[in-house]
């Protein structure tokens, strides 16, 4: 069966703009990491139960691929539902996992998005990218970015507003310390000790600035509001930080641009 690539992303910048209920609203530049991806495919299996084959530390029910399956089931008509259920009785989702978990690289979200696109293509469901993104948002805030497949995009709201940003794709060196970071915990510390949302003028300025210029003119903690809270909660992160690197998402990955 065909192999589908689920790419990682880095956050060139990530700034908090406010709160919405229990969520934090953000403005962030997501950029695809072309050299780092999981590979997904459908493979024949025995038994009727939903099956994911791959190196995951979570249960099937906690996996974003399974969550994407249940979200898709809830969003399509009866005829399409039957097609999807029959597909997953016959096939397992095989995942060659290269993007580390708990890393701020969107690996789980990318897997979920890629699975939705696979089902749409294989079953000829005819869902538009906007419709798939709406389903994806029920799975996770980062999923819509991966549905659209842009090289680079400004992502705002709680992740549901994805606007393509046209610029050359950069090449990254990424390293991920083996520290499992809890995103809710980091956001909680941010809200408690570091809460300082940026205003609309600053938001607009960041949205219009190229990724190269952001990385040239901002330090790691200026570019990502979650870096300091993550350092406060996970002291050992400090031992892994190297000068000239930036922090992706809520961590624990660091990245820098490879000059071509």
Tokens 């039957």, residue located? 82
Q: How confident is the model at residue 128 (pLDDT cuts 50, 70, 90)?
A: very high
146 or 21, which is more confident: 146
Tell me the three state secondary structure of residue 170. Answer: coil
Point out the residues that are catalytic: 9, 142
This prediction's pTM: 0.94
Q: What is the spatial distance between Cα 255 and Cα 39, in angstroms, rounded to a whole number?
A: 22
Q: How confident is the model at residue 106 (pLDDT cuts 50, 70, 90)?
A: very high
> Which tens digits make up the pLDDT trace of 160-215?
899 999 999 999 999 999 999 999 999 999 999 999 999 999 999 999 999 999 99
Tell me the three state secondary structure of residue 96. Answer: strand
> Which tens digits make up the pLDDT trace of 45-64?
999 999 999 998 889 999 99
- How many other β-carbons are positioned within 10 Å of the β-carbon of residue 82? 11
pLDDT of 20 above 90: no
Tokens 């992160």, residue located? 237
pLDDT of 260 above 80: no
Residue 21: what pLDDT? 83
pLDDT of 145 above 80: yes
Residue 160: what pLDDT? 87
Residue 79: what pLDDT? 95
Tell me the three state secondary structure of residue 108. Answer: helix
Tokens 């990682």, residue located? 8
Q: How confident is the model at residue 259 (pLDDT cuts 50, 70, 90)?
A: confident
Q: How confident is the model at residue 251 (pLDDT cuts 50, 70, 90)?
A: confident
Q: If you ran DSSP here, which 8-state letter would residue 172 be given?
A: E
Distance between start and end Cα atoms, the chain? 35
Average pLDDT of the chain is: 95
pLDDT of 1 above 90: no
Pairing of strands 91-96, 254-257: unpaired
Q: What is the spatial distance between Cα 90 and Cα 92, in angstroms, rounded to a whole number?
A: 7
Residue 237: what pLDDT? 94
């Amino acid at each position: 069966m065909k192999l589908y690539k689920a790419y990682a992303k880095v956050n060139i910048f990530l700034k908090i703009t406010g709160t919405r209920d229990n969520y934090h609203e953000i403005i962030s530049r997501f950029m695809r990491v072309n050299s780092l991806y999981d590979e997904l495919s459908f493979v024949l299996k025995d038994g009727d139960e939903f099956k994911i084959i791959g190196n995951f530390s979570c249960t099937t029910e906690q996996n974003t691929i399974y969550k994407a399956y249940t979200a898709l089931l809830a969003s399509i008509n009866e005829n399409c539902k039957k097609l999807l259920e029959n597909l997953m009785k016959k096939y397992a989702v095989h995942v060659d996992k290269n993007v580390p978990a708990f890393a701020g690289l969107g690996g789980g979200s990318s897997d979920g998005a890629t699975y939705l696109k696979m089902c749409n293509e294989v079953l000829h469901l005819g869902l538009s990218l906007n419709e798939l993104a709406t389903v994806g948002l029920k799975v996770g805030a980062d999923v819509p970015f991966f549905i659209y497949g842009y090289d680079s995009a400004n992502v705002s709201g709680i992740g549901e507003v994805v606007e393509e940003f046209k610029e050359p794709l950069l090449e990254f060196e990424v390293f991920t310390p083996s520290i499992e970071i809890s995103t809710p915990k980091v956001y909680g510390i941010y809200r408690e000790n570091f809460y300082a949302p940026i205003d609309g003028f600053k938001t607009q300025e960041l949205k219009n600035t190229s990724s190269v210029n952001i990385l040239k003119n901002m330090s790691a903690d200026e570019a990502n509001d979650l870096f300091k809270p993550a350092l406060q909660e996970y002291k050992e992160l400090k031992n892994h930080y190297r000068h000239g690197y930036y922090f992706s998402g809520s961590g624990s990955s660091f990245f820098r641009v490879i000059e071509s």
